[in-house]
Structure 1
Amino acid sequence: MPFLTDMYHEQNRNSARVADEPASVETVDGFDPKALSRRLNTAILGQAHAVDAVVRAVSIAHVGVADPGRPLSSVLLVGPTGVGKTELVRQVAAALRTGPDDLCRIDMSALAQEHYAASLSGAPPGYAGSKESFTLFDKAKIEGGPYMPGIVLFDEVEKADASVLRALLHVLDTGELRLANGQQKISFRNSYIFLTSNLGSLEVAVRQRARRKRRWWWPQRGAASHQSVVREAVEEFFDPEFFNRIDETVVFDAFDDTTAERVTRKEIGDLVRRLKARDVDLEVDDSVVDFVQRRGFDPVYGARGLRRTIRTELTEPVAWAVLTASQKPVTLKAQVRDGELTVT
C-alpha cells in the first residue's frame, strides 16, 4: 500500500480514537490537559514522557497551586541533538500564546564569556548603557498578561559562562530580575521557564551507534543506561544551588528505529502538503521511507540527519521535476528502483 494511503488511514484511526475518549475535566478558563497532550505528541514524536512533564507543569499552573513567589514552572530538557527539545517549547508557545515564535528565546551559546552576564541584567551604574537598561529579555513575552502566560527558553544552557548561570539563580528562585541600574525589574512569576541542554548526549549516541552496528538491543537496559548517563552528566555540570532551583529535569530519549520511521513519514508528509499547496501532487511509495531512513538515520544527529537526507534525496529531484514540467497541475511519483530513488 502506498505511503500516503497508509498515512490517511492512520489519521482516520487516530481521529476515531480521539472521538471515543471521554470528555476531559476542564478548569475554569477552559484549559484541557488532554487536548494539549495530544497536540504536543502529534508534533513531538517518541517523547511521550517529556510531553507528560510539560503538560503536568502547565496543569499545576492553571489550577493555581504553583508558588506565587516563583516562576510558574522551571523545566530542564536534556537529551541528544535533533530529538525535539527546542521544538517542544515552540509548540507550547503555539498552544498557550499566539504562535511557535511568540516566546523569549535566549541563545546561551552566544553568552560564553563572563562579561556577557551584563546582557541579561543590563550595564551597572557608571557604565555605558546603564540608563537605557538594555537587556536580552523581551519583557512583554516574559510577563505575559492576565490570560496569556509568558514563555522563556534558555537554549543550550551548558554553553554559557558560569557567571551567566549565576545571574539566573535569582530568577529561578524568586521569579524576579532587578536590572543592574536598580530602577527597573522584570517579573518571571507569570512565565514558564524552559532550559535545554545536550549534556551526556554524545556518550549516549556513541553507545547507541555501537549497539546498532553489533545488531543487538536490550530496550529496558538501554533506556535505564541512557537516563543514568545523562542525569549524571547534568548533576556533575551544574552547581547544586542552580540544579536545586529547577522544578523538574526531563531526559529525552535517543531516537530508535521506530521513532526514526515515524519522523521520516511525518517529514515526507509535510513535504507532500507543501507541494499540494502549489498544485503539485506527489505520491510517495513506502520504499522511499525505508530508503531515507537507512540513508539518513544516525542517533548522533536525530531528526536533523533525516531532514538533510530528505532534502538531498527527495526534495531536490522533486523540485527539478516541477521546474521542468510542461504543464500544471503536476503529478509525481517517488519510488526506489534498483537502489536509487527516482521521481517520475
Structure 2
Amino acid sequence: MARTLSIASAGLTPPERPLSVLLLTGPTGVGKTSMVQAVASTLRGRPDDFCRIDMSALAQEHYAASFSGAPPGYAGSKEGHSLFDRDRIDGNPMQAGIVLFDEVEKAHPVVLRALLGLLDSGMLRLSAGTGSIDFRNCHVFMTSNLGSRALLEQANRRWRPRWRTQRSPVAAAVKSFFEPEFLNRIDEVIEFVPLTPAVAAEIIDIEIGRVAAALARRGIDLTVSGEARHALVDTGFDREFGARALHRTVRTKLLGPLASATSKASDAPRPQAIAVDLTAGGALVCRRSEEVSAKEAKTRNSVCA
C-alpha cells in the first residue's frame, strides 16, 4: 500500500484514472477499515475524513440506482442526488480525496458495472444527467470478506501455504467472484490475515493505553498487571470476530469496573492511582490508591505479627 500511495503522491499515475485503487480483503475485525482511517488521518488530518459507501445497502436492484442518484420515485431522483460526499472525494490540489466502498461484493451487479466505469475513467455520471462526480484526485478503497470462512478454517488448523505452490483461499475467491476486467482496474489487492494471540495482545495493550491516557487527563494513574492483561486476551481472542471481540471484552470486563472505581475517586483533592489485577477466581478487580495502600499495610502488619 505504501508503494501505491507514494506513486500517486509523486504524480506518476495516469491522469484519467483515480489516484489509486486498492482492494482490502480478509475476515471481519482484522483492520481493513482501520487502515483506511489511518490513511485518512495521514493525508487529510482526521481518521474519519473520507467518504464511506455501504455496498451491502445496494444489494437490491431498486436501491442500486442510488449509487449514481436517488432511486426513481424517491425524493431527489430528479435532482441527481447521490450517496457521495463530493468534498471528501474531489479533494483539492494540496489534498487528495478518499472513498471507501465497504463490502463491495455485496452490491448488486448493476452497481458493480457502474463502479467498473468509475475505476476506468475516474468519473461517475449522475443518473439524472445533471452532472458527474470526479474521482481522478481520489484514492479508492474497497473491502471484501470473500474467502474469509475458508481462511479462518485454515488459520484454526495452523495451515500455511507453501511458497509459490498454494494460493490463499481469499485470492481464489476474489478471482472467482469478480470479472477479469474489474480485477484489471485494481492497482493492488492487500490480504489481511486472521488475528493471532500475539496480535491480540498488542491490541489489548493499545486499548489499555487509550484508557490510561483518558484517565491521565483526569489526574488518575492506571496500572494493569500482566495477569489482568493476559485474562483480557484469553477472554476476548476470537479469530472469527477479530478486534471487535477484543473491544467488547475491554468494554465489559475492564471499563465497567474502572467506571465504578473512578466515580469514587472523582471528588478526591489529589490525583488518584488505580491498579487493575486478577483475583483468584479469575475476575478483574480495580483498587484505588488508598485501597492498595491499606491492603499493603495490612500485609505488612500480618508479617510483623
* Coarse TM-score class (shorter-chain normalised): 0.7 to 0.9
Aligned 8 A contact 2:4 2:187 in 1: no
Quote the Cα distance in structure 1 between the aligned partners of 2:222 and 2:185: 50
Instruction: Describe the shift of the 1:221–1:243 C-alpha distance in structure 2 as closer, same or farther (beyond 3 A).
Output: closer
Partner of 1:115: 62
Pair 286,159 (structure 1): closer, same or farther in 2 beyond 3 Å? same
Number of aligned pairs?
284
Residue of structure 1 equivalent to 2:290: none
Which residue is 1:313 aligned to?
Answer: 253
RMSD: 2.2
1:196 Cα offset (Å): 0.5
Where does residue 292 of structure 1 map in the other structure? Answer: 232
Task: Show the counterpart of 1:322.
Answer: 262
Find the counterpart in structure 2 of residue 170 from structure 1: 117
Residues 284/98 of structure 1: CA separation in 2 closer, same or farther (3 Å cut): same
Name which of 101, 109, 115 aligns with 1:154: 101
Q: Distance in 2 between matches of 1:93 and 1:72?
A: 14
Structure 1 residue identity aligned to 2:226: D
Match of 1:340 among 272, 283, 291: 283
Determine if contact 1:260/1:293 at 8 Å carries over to the other structure: yes
Distance 1:143 1:330, change over 3 A: same
**Contact 1:125 / 1:180 at 8 angstroms: preserved in 2?**
no
CA gap of 1:134–1:191, structure 2 versus 1, over 3 A, is same
* Residue pair 1:80, 1:254 contacting (<8 A) in 2 also: yes
* Contact 2:25 2:192 survives alignment (8 Å): yes
Name which of 304, 328, 335 aligns with 2:244: 304
Code of the residue aligned with 1:60 in structure 2: it is: I
2:89 paired residue number: 142
Task: State the Cα distance separating 1:266 from its structure 2 match.
Answer: 0.8
Rounded Cα–Cα distance in structure 1 between residues aligned with 2:27 and 2:164? 15
1:236 aligned onto 2:176? yes
Question: Cα distance 1:149–1:227, how it changes in 2: closer, same or farther (>3 A)?
Answer: farther
State the shift of 1:64 in Å.
1.3
Whole-Å Cα distance in 1 between the matches of residues 162 and 279 of structure 2? 36
Which stretch shifts more, 76-85 or 125-134?
A: 125-134
Aligned partner of 1:36 in structure 2 is none
Task: Give yes or no for contact 2:62–2:71 (8 Å, CA) kept in 1.
Answer: no
Distance 2:143 2:71 in 1: 28
8 Å Cα contact 2:161/2:168 also seen in 1: no
Equivalent-residue separation in structure 2 for 1:136 and 1:130 (angstroms): 12
Structure 1 residue runs of 5 or longer lacking an equivalent are 1-52, 212-216
Distance 1:297 1:126 in 2: 47
CA distance in 2, matches of 1:303, 1:121: 33
Which consecutive aligned stretches of 4+ in structure 1 deviate over 6 angstroms post-superposition? 124-128, 222-226
Deviations 1:219-245 (A, max 9, x none): x54898996111111111222222221
TM-score, structure 1 as length reference: 0.77
- SS of match in other structure, 1:324: helix
In structure 2, C-alpha distance between the alignment counterparts of 1:222 and 1:312, rounded to whole Å: 40
1:125 positional shift: 9.2
Residue 273 (str. 1) matches residue 213 (str. 2): yes
Partners of 1:226 and 1:341 in 2: CA distance = 44
Residues 223 and 285 of structure 1, relative CA distance in 2, 3 Å threshold? farther
Deviation at 1:314, TM superposition (A): 1.1
- 1:158-205 CA-to-partner distances (Å, cap 9, x unmatched) read 121121111111100010111122231111000000000111112222
Answer with 1 or 2: which has the greater Rg: 2
Residues 269-288 of structure 1: CA deviation (Å, up to 9, x unaligned):
11111121223221111111
Match of 2:273 among 302, 308, 331: 331
In 2, Cα distance between equivalents of 1:325 and 1:127: 54
Shift of 1:256: 1.1
* Normalised TM-score (structure 2): 0.87
Q: Would you say the 8 A contact 2:195–2:242 is kept in 1?
A: yes
Question: Residue in 2 aligned with 1:83?
Answer: 30
> Which AA in structure 1 matches 2:241?
Y
Work out the CA distance in 1 between the residues paired with 2:112 and 2:222: 48
CA deviation digits over 1:74-110, x for unaligned, max 9? 0000011111100110111111013111111101111
Summarize the alignment of residues 252-267 of structure 1 with structure 2, pairs less than 5 Å apart. Answer: 252-267=192-207
Contact 1:123 1:134 in 2 (8 A): yes
